[in-house]
Chain A
């Protein structure tokens, strides 16, 4: 006989979310209690035939109406503001030292890649206690939902678009991972575990190379680097701008002007589209020569995993500091070749922040 009334608490959000939850429980009990009391007392006390005073029955009272409109409204606004704070953290920018994890959802399994160690795992996620992680997720097919109740954390894992979430697990343990968005026949079996390990255990796990059957020695950046050459990206997007396309050095996180006049921040989703369907958002000043790489496993196609590797590599080429360096290099390169027929015309604003989602 097991009647659990709440899940374990294992993240930096859990306690603050539980505080709001139990406050709401208290408010619910109080208001339901008031209403129950009113209904029961009135319908019994004033039932037909009772000899109680019914003098001056009222059929309306502005002050009463205002009271029971304004008090619930103020309480509601308080809860609203309170609950918006953790929400803006969960889906907001992660701390800069958060380690990156890429998550690919497919029917009916979860595939994780640890960006820094290159370790891959299926339906299991090993994390170090106390260390912030940012999960960037995408689905290969339908919408899934990444849900770990003990972390009080949920994010839809969408096809065709990266979603992110960050958290800091703060309690060692083994926790359920569920798919929360219905995804077909074996939806309820698309589950797994999140293992939060002590630093020693985590180091041990990492040294062992994670789960054996998926052991991997290259980091996502290294794989991305190889792919960058394999797919021929490097021919047009080398260390310097050339006539066909811009360099990737220092590009990530900047704001670029597009050929359609809009501007956009270069983030994961921008790069994804730029690889799959480059003409949808071509940076102004560059010719429309690139044909995209559709997602898939066939010839000339690229898998979701490799897309994330590529993006991880491109990201490594450009945070704000590196951008400054590469801009300086680019300036000297341009000076060295004044006769170039196509001076670089793209508008890369270097002043923008390096992290964005």
Chain B
């Protein structure tokens, strides 16, 4: 069928065969889901949970944008407005962005990408989902019944003394969810260290695995700090233990230090996994090795480590020493370099590639553009004097939404589209996916670009009322947010549609490299019948590239139309040893 000596498991009938039994259909009882130790099922549980949380967070955002259409909004009271932006921040940061990619795509793919049958601690993995759910239910209960108005930053002494809202319940919820992150992080670290398939050396790892590894380091080192800090807020609020409240001798600036010691690295928890996805998607659709693999891999590690040394850049105007401000600013400028390295390497990967413009790639390109703007505008805020003006304004809001939405969510969307066939065994409608990528890109820019200008104009963030001259920019932003919402609802619809009506996905619909594409879609519960032996680098696309330039696209398996599966569903034959040396010869 083809002379390309690679991916044998994905070529020919073996690849077209949908395994009769896969992780989704092996059992159908509720308890088989709720008590599963299968990383893939847990990933699906997480995916459903974070999608629901995303919906809640999105509704809160809609409320904010409705309020800000008019300079003196009368639709909500200021109390409600404050609760809306607090709910938006808390839900999106702690219950969507932090767990989003690691707990869903990471959980699903990390073991498969390294040729393992599960994570190192499958039951710990399940526990992490229960911790997440427990925290999420507690927080949602607190938000729906009373709410919280501290913002997601819980600044002292407002949170411990002055706020009359459900601070304790929310903080306990965030605290519990923090342990879910820690459990996932430890699980990933151990898994990457101990469970790589034979031959899968560190520098053969897909960059997504590197990104997960770097993310896990940050999670494990950073989360305990914020957890204990938030616990101290609760102790102060409930028992009057004086830590941060200046009225009894505490120091509110200490809270800011401890909070940002986690929460700045947390930004990298949110963005590094997306960067991993982009590396996978770009390499696959350019049909090339990622340009400068080692630089991209080490830049993740550099970001993870330097990320712990820049927290003070949130505090240039708080009264921290001028000299510590200068040190934090300097390190912040330095951490921009590894990000720049990544952007240029991704762009260079496309050079002389055989670029297949698919929806995951379009999302990935959107990511790179928006992340570039998000990263560069971060330098405005790293610049000491400029930050004195821009800190706490809408410029900051715009900047971190470019990184968090334009970055993390576009990356998540790229990954979701890329691996959706693998996860669900179904293809989504490509045309709609392309459309939604463009709508999201336009809607996103329309929403958040005006906020840069608002910020430079001096509009402070977290303002329910604002001077009337800022209204037009706010109207633009609110209009953009409805476009963005449409761009996000469309994928929700076609993904759900695809579960029932989508064509059946072959093992390797993209002709991609990587162990996950050597096993059926959806994978069997145990992932691999035989432990794969890895004999080549990640992204060894040379043969595919050469074949495609010669006009041979047979490695790209066509989706199987619904109703035609009988013809293909021969009894599951044991998958062949993917990538094993004798197969490759």
- Tell me which of B303-311, B458-466, B480-488 binds A: B458-466
CB <8 Å contact, B289 and A54: no
- Residues of chain A with a CB closer than 8 A to B290's CB: 59
Q: Which residue of A lies closest to B463 (CB)?
A: A188
Q: Give Cα A72 to B379, complex, Å.
A: 11
B389 partner residues in chain A, CB cutoff 8 A: 17, 21, 149, 152-154
The answer to whether A159 and B247 have CB atoms under 8 Å apart is: yes
> For the complex, what is the distance from the CA of A156 to the CA of B459, rounded to whole Å?
16
Smallest CB separation, A275 vs chain B (Å) = 14
Given A38-B347, A156-B317, A185-B149, A48 and B356 contact (CB-CB distance below 8 Å): yes
**CB neighbours of A31 from chain B (8 A):** 372, 376
Residues 64-107 of chain A, each 1 if its beta carbon lies under 8 Å from chain B, else 0 = 11001100110011011011111110111000000000000001
In this complex, the interface size class of chain B, counting residues with CB under 8 Å from chain A, is 35 or more
Cβ of A28 < 8 Å from any Cβ of B? yes
Contact, CB under 8 Å: B157 / A159: yes
A160–B326 Cα gap in the complex (Å)? 24
B511 CB → nearest A CB, Å: 11
The answer to whether B158 touches A182, judged by C-beta atoms less than 8 angstroms apart, is: yes
Residues 385-398 of chain B: 1 if any A CB is under 8 Å from the residue's CB, otherwise 0? 11111011100000
- B241 interfacial contact with A, CB 8 Å: no
Asked if A27 is at the interface (CB within 8 A of a chain B CB), the reply is: yes
Judge if A298 is at the interface, Cβ distance under 8 Å. Answer: no
- Set A16, A58, A76: member contacting B336, Cβ < 8 A: A76
The stretch that binds B, out of A139-147, A196-204, A260-268, is A139-147
The complex places the Cα of A91 from the Cα of B384 at a distance, in Å, of 11
Neighbouring B residues of A6 by C-beta, 8 Å: 456-457
Residue B353, interface by CB 8 Å = yes
A189, B79: Cα distance in complex, Å: 12
How many whole Å from A306's CB to the nearest CB in chain B?
Answer: 17
User: Are A141's CB and B162's CB within 8 A?
Assistant: yes
> Which A residues between 227 and 280 are near B, CB-CB below 8 angstroms?
277
**Number of A interface residues, CB 8 Å?**
88
**Assembled-state Cα–Cα distance A28/B471 (Å):** 26
Tell me the nearest residue of chain B to A57, going by C-beta: B352
Asked if residues A54 and B352 are in contact (CB atoms below 8 Å), the reply is yes
Chain B residues with CB below 8 A from A77, complex form = 330, 333
A80 to B385, CA, bound (A): 9
- In-complex Cβ contact of A92 among B163, B322, B377 (8 A): B322
> Which residues of chain A are within 8 angstroms of B156 by Cβ–Cβ distance?
143
A145 cross-chain contacts in B, Cβ below 8 A:
317, 392, 460
Please name the residue on chain A nearest to B377 by beta carbon: A28
Contact A32 B372 (CB under 8 A): yes
State A47–B156 Cα separation when bound (angstroms).
54
With contacts A5-B457, A59-B291, A188-B466 taken as known, whether A35 is within 8 angstroms of B354 at the C-beta atoms is: no
Shortest Cβ distance from residue A118 to the other chain B in the assembled complex, whole angstroms: 27
One of B161, B344, B352 near A58 (C-beta < 8 A): B352
Quote the shortest CB–CB distance from A104 to chain B (angstroms). 14
Cβ of A39 within 8 Å of any chain B Cβ, yes or no, is: yes
Q: Give the dominant DSSP class at A's interface.
A: mixed
Q: A117 contacts which chain B residues (CB < 8 A)?
A: none
- B49 contacts partner chain A, Cβ-Cβ < 8 Å: no
Q: Is B348 an interface residue (CB 8 A)?
A: yes
Q: Which of B246, B291, B329, B473 touches A3 (beta carbons < 8 Å)?
A: B473
Q: Which of A42, A152, A163, A181 contacts B350 (CB 8 A)?
A: A42
- In the complex with contacts A24-B386, A182-B151, A83-B392 CB distance below 8 A: no
Q: State the CA gap A74–B333 with chains docked (Å).
A: 10
Nearest B residue to A181 via CB reads B392
Asked if B140 CB lies within 8 Å of chain A CBs, one says no
Partner of A155 from the list B317, B353, B393, B461 (CB cut-off 8 Å) is B317
Q: With the chains together, A178 CA to B355 CA distance in Å?
A: 50
Nearest chain-B residue to A70 (Cβ)? Answer: B337
- Shortest beta-carbon contacts, A-B, top 6: A149-B458, A160-B246, A87-B384, A83-B383, A42-B350, A86-B385
What residues make up the interface of A, taking CB atoms closer than 8 Å to B?
Answer: 1-7, 13, 16-17, 20-21, 24, 27-28, 31-32, 35-36, 38-39, 42-43, 46-48, 53-61, 64-65, 68-69, 72-73, 76-77, 79-80, 82-88, 90-92, 107, 141-143, 145, 147, 149-150, 152-156, 158-161, 163, 176, 178-189, 277, 295
Q: With A5-B456, A46-B355, A73-B334 given, can you name 7 additional A-B contacts, CB distance below 8 Å?
A: A27-B379, A59-B289, A80-B382, A143-B158, A158-B252, A158-B318, A188-B78
What residues of chain B have their CB less than 8 Å away from a CB belonging to chain A?
Answer: 78-79, 82, 149, 151, 155-158, 161-163, 246-247, 249, 251-253, 286, 288-295, 316-319, 322, 325-326, 329-330, 333-334, 336-337, 340-341, 343-345, 347-348, 350-357, 361, 365, 368-369, 372-373, 376-377, 379-380, 382-389, 391-393, 453, 456-458, 460-467, 469-473, 545, 548-549
